[in-house]
Amino acid sequence: MDTHGGGARVPVTAAGCPRIMDRVSDSDRDGLFGALFGRGGVGVSDRDWLEAMLDTEAALARALERAGLAAAGSGGMVTAAARASQFDAAEIGRDAVRTGNPVPALVRALSGALPEGAREAVHRGATSQDIIDTAAMLLARNAIGVIDGDLAAAAGHAARLARAHTTTLMAGRTLLQQAVPVTFGLVAAGWLTAIGEARSELRRIRTTRLAVQFGGAAGTLASLGADGPAVAALLAEELGLAEPALPWHTDRLRILQLAAGLAGVCAALGKVARDVTLLAQTELGEVTEGRGEPGQGGSSAMPQKRNPVASVLVLGCARRAPGLLATMAAATEHELQRAAGAWHAEWEPLTDLLRITGSAASWSAVLLAGLQIDAVRMRAALDASGGLPMAEHVTAVLAPALGRLTAHDLVAAAADRAARQDTGLAAALLADPDSAAALSAAGIGAADLAAATDPGSYLGACSEFVRRALAAHDSGEWQPAEEGAPSGD
């Protein structure tokens, strides 16, 4: 099983936009929804699970041989036989109903493929949970490597957008209404920061929280006697996973932290996609997804439509993550030494979380690579508001002369008139005799109001915040040190 992390380069069309049908996992390509929600290189198909379980059994056989508990050469024979292509996952699944999990059937099938002298090295000292939990760790490690590659690509595109649009003015919006001006660079820097932090947490989990599971029937390794801990250490070494202080059969914090890290990635990517869908609305048109394929964004009924497909699919993945995380959290209560049902409840939600997080990350790299920014429409939306987003600034300018409360009330009344009369804020202030008189007495004229209602004059720390986000990205602040020896705790 390939344990190499990292994502592949995203292929592009002649127009420079990412192709939307590439990089779908072979195992997930088939099926009605596979290309939508199984995009990317994360492998969590039945065959991937089978291969991870076989890799665990093979590593255990090698560990037993190294510990002197299996015949010389048996580890190599088990490893040679433990190939997923040689086993029928469907048949093993059908046999799983007898025991409540697929491992006993797999052990019988693997043993049957071996000469008699090597069979004693199969599954010795282990219980079914050891194999499935360790397989889950292997799948997670591989998946995180792929997801990390796509997140790195997405972060790179967000950084490019932040850098290119540090001073591109647009309306800030709170509660979906125009607030004060911001820059698109700040928006992209926010995306960059969230992606970077989610990526950092997932890499931390991959480096420090993925551990081998090997405890035997009740977490004591009694069947291996005094050799149990040594075999556990060798198994961890064979698989390149952390060796925990003791088996974690009923301590599911590792699994929950993994699930939470995946959900965190979905949350960060969902934020990006939601912003894009809002800013891409026809009435705004401030951003547009790139056209990666002819007909991308089309509708079955409306020929004119250009839907933000990549964003919609990221959201389709991200919306599922909280429910899956909740299921994983609910399944953390494992009674006594081995759980009845709670462990079993983890397998499919974790599989789904790995798959949809991988798909969301892959789609996000495509989305941000091709995102087109319309700075003219962004500025037009600000100008169309007649200076109303600058009401806070105008109040601050008037406050030294008029007093803060008086200035606030005067500007609030003028803003109300401007909205009702469809005029600008400055014009509404000057047109009203009472406010005009107050302004004149304070020595504030039309030129002062024009300056105060200029969106570019009220950006606060936008540029500094963009600079900080880019500095953190460029310095690798969100990229934990490369993995050395895995840590168990």
**Residues written for the chain:** 489
Give the three-state DSSP class for 172: strand
338 is catalytic: yes
Are the beta carbons of 363 and 310 closer than 8 angstroms? yes
- The answer to whether the Cα torsion of 233, 250, 338, 93 is positive or negative is negative
CA angle 76, 79, 83 (to 5 degrees): 150
Instruction: Look up residue 371 and give its amino acid.
Output: L
111 is catalytic: no
- Burial class for 349, CB neighbours closer than 10 Å (0-12, 13-18, 19+): buried
From the candidates 19, 160, 291, 338, give the one annotated as an active-site residue. 338
From the candidates 29, 223, 299, 457, give the one annotated as an active-site residue. 299
Give the three-state DSSP class for 24: strand
DSSP string of 380-442, one letter each residue: HHHHHTTTGGGHHHHHHHHHHHH-HHHHHHHHHHHHHHHHHHT--HHHHHHHSHHHHHHHHHT
19 contacts: CB under 8 Å, gap ≥ 6:
10, 11, 12, 13, 292, 293
Are the beta carbons of 5 and 142 closer than 8 angstroms? yes
Question: Residue 168: what are its φ and ψ, rounded to 5°?
Answer: -75, 110
Rg over alpha carbons for the chain, rounded to the nearest Å, is 29
- Burial class for 32, CB neighbours closer than 10 Å (0-12, 13-18, 19+): exposed
466: nearest Cα among 162, 191, 154, 169? 162
- Residue 99 has a CB neighbour count (10 Å cut-off) of 11
| Cα 207 to Cα 187, 200, 444, 483, distances in angstroms | 30, 10, 61, 6
Give the catalytic positions in this structure: 299, 338
